[in-house]
């Protein structure tokens, strides 16, 4: 069985495989930190994109302050791999999950999490009290700034903060507000206008809590589509971009080409279909997600990709394209990076066609 290793050429890889152009990825990282670090805010990249402690460490070396994860199971993997300055950005609710949070906090005291209800805060506090752990866990109040997915309404933040103040094992350190509904707004001017309106809600809530005597040190927010606006809004202390490192076609359509497509899925033409200008490749729904549209063949604007089931896809083209022979290899740009990465076991990171690194997708499938 073929076992890829550093030094091999890309053309030796089996397909479909997930590949990363290191030159482009490193350029994306440099651009992000060049853009954001001079603002004075902390950059805490969202690791639900990369799902990789190896890449988390690369981002920290570039200037990141720890990282974010969406799920507790992701935090467990990251901490075990030495990336323990982690904010869990989704509410930890339910006895099984709260018990796991307690055990994680027992080992890794830098863990932070968010709460948006008195019930959720009380449950975490009770489990920590019963555990015998004396130190309080750091928490942020999750504020709904317009996405309407999670978070307490801004006007409810004070009551929740007062409740947290009665709990011995929770230490309120900040607020979080994610304007996810604005990440893909087309048109820079409109996206910035709507983002800054959301930031007013978030920063005003932080100010109110401070005026009421709460020590709000962290105001965290933002994604790849809005981080530059958030970082230059007074009162914001931290931003959470994630997709910038690889980019996808959906983000490019919204925010432009400042960041490059450094990640692609490489596939092979395996069959010629019944139509004259269509071939079948070996990348289907199990290789590329479709929630944000179909993938795009890289550097082939006149060729379209259509999924044709779990394992297959079509490439179609117009009269001016010669077509593809059996065995030809094609790179595809995902339409949505995060769930596409979650379909693969490894990144094959190359420089000019030679594999330099192989990184496991260590938190693949970690949805709990």
Answer whether residue 321 is part of any domain: no
Query: CATH number for the domain including 193?
Result: 3.20.20.10
Q: What is the pLDDT of residue 280?
A: 97
Rounded Cα gap, residues 224 and 245, in angstroms: 9
Backbone dihedral angles phi then psi of residue 278, each to the nearest 5 degrees: -145, 140
pLDDT value for 276: 85
Q: Is 123 part of any domain?
A: yes
Residue 56, helix vs strand vs coil: helix
The continuous run of DSSP H or E covering 163 comes out as: helix 157-165
Using CA atoms, how far apart are residues 198 and 147, in angstroms rounded to an integer? 10
Beta bridge partner(s), residue 268? 329
- Phi, psi (degrees; rounded to nearest 5) at 184: -115, 20
Alpha carbons within 13 angstroms on the beta-carbon side of residue 184 total 13
Q: Is residue 153 part of a domain?
A: yes
In a domain, 207, yes or no: yes
When divided into structural domains, the chain yields a total of 1
Instruction: Provide the 8-state DSSP code for 9.
Output: B
Can you give the pLDDT at residue 321?
83
Position 139 in a domain = yes
Contact 52, 261 (CB under 8 A): no
Residue at 222 is within a domain: yes
Residue 310 in domain: no
Does the residue 317 lie in any domain?
no
The predicted pLDDT at position 1 comes to 67
Nearest to 29 by CA among 233, 241, 213: 241
Range of the domain at 134: 22-246
Given a contact cutoff of 8 angstroms between Cβ atoms, the answer to whether 170 and 139 are in contact is yes
Query: Which pLDDT score, from 0 to 100, does residue 319 have?
Result: 81
Yes or no: say if 196 and 226 are a contact pair by the CB < 8 Å rule: no
How confident is the prediction along the chain (368 residues), in pLDDT tens digits per residue?
Answer: 679 999 999 999 999 999 999 999 999 999 999 999 999 999 999 999 999 999 999 999 999 999 999 999 999 999 999 999 999 999 999 999 999 999 999 999 999 999 999 999 999 999 999 999 999 999 999 999 999 999 999 999 999 999 999 999 999 999 999 999 999 999 999 999 999 999 999 999 999 999 999 999 999 999 999 999 999 999 999 999 999 999 999 999 999 999 999 999 999 999 997 788 999 999 999 999 999 999 999 999 999 999 999 999 999 998 888 889 999 999 999 999 999 999 999 999 999 999 999 999 999 999 99
Parallel/antiparallel/unpaired status of strands 263-272 and 329-333:
antiparallel
pTM of the model: 0.97
* Segments of 251-335 assigned E as strands: 263-272, 278-281, 296-297, 303-307, 313-317, 329-333
Look up residue 206 and give its two tokens.
């932080």
- Residue 329 and residue 36 in contact, taking contact as beta carbons nearer than 8 Å: no
């Amino acid at each position: 069985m073929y076992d890829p290793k550093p030094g091999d050429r890309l053309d030796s890889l089996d397909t479909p495989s997930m590949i990363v152009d290191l030159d482009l990825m490193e350029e994306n990282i440099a651009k992000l930190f060049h853009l954001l670090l001079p603002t004075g805010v902390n950059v805490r990249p969202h690791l639900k994109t990369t799902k990789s402690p190896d890449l988390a460490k690369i981002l920290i070396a570039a200037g990141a302050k720890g990282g974010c994860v969406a799920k507790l199971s992701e935090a467990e993997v990251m901490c075990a791999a030495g990336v323990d300055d982690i904010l869990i950005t989704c509410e930890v609710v339910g006895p099984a999950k709260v018990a796991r949070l307690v055990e994680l906090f027992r080992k890794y005291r830098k863990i932070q999490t968010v709460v948006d209800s008195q019930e959720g805060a009380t449950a975490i506090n009770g489990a920590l009290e019963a555990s015998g752990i004396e130190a309080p866990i750091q928490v942020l109040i999750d504020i709904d700034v317009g996405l309407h997915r999670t978070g307490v309404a801004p006007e409810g933040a004070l009551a929740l903060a007062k409740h947290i103040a009665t709990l011995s094992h929770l230490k309120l350190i900040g607020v979080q507000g994610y304007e996810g509904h604005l990440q893909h707004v087309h048109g820079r001017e409109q996206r910035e206008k709507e983002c800054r309106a959301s930031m007013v809600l978030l920063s005003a809530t932080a100010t109110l809590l401070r005026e009421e005597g709460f020590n709000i040190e962290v105001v965290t927010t933002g994604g790849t589509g809005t981080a530059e606006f958030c970082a230059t809004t007074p009162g914001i202390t931290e931003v959470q971009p994630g997709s910038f490192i690889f980019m996808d076609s959906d983000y490019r359509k919204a925010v432009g080409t400042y960041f490059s497509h450094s990640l692609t899925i490489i596939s092979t033409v395996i069959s010629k279909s019944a139509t004259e200008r269509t071939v079948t490749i070996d990348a289907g729904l199990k290789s590329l997600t479709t929630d944000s549209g179909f993938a795009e063949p890289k550097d082939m604007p006149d060729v379209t990709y259509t999924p044709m089931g779990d394992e297959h896809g079509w490439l179609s083209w117009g009269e001016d394209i010669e077509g593809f022979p059996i065995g030809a290899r094609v790179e595809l740009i995902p339409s949505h990076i995060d769930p596409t990465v979650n379909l693969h076991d490894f990144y094959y990171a190359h420089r000019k066609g030679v594999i330099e690194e192989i990184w496991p997708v260590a938190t693949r499938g970690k949805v709990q």
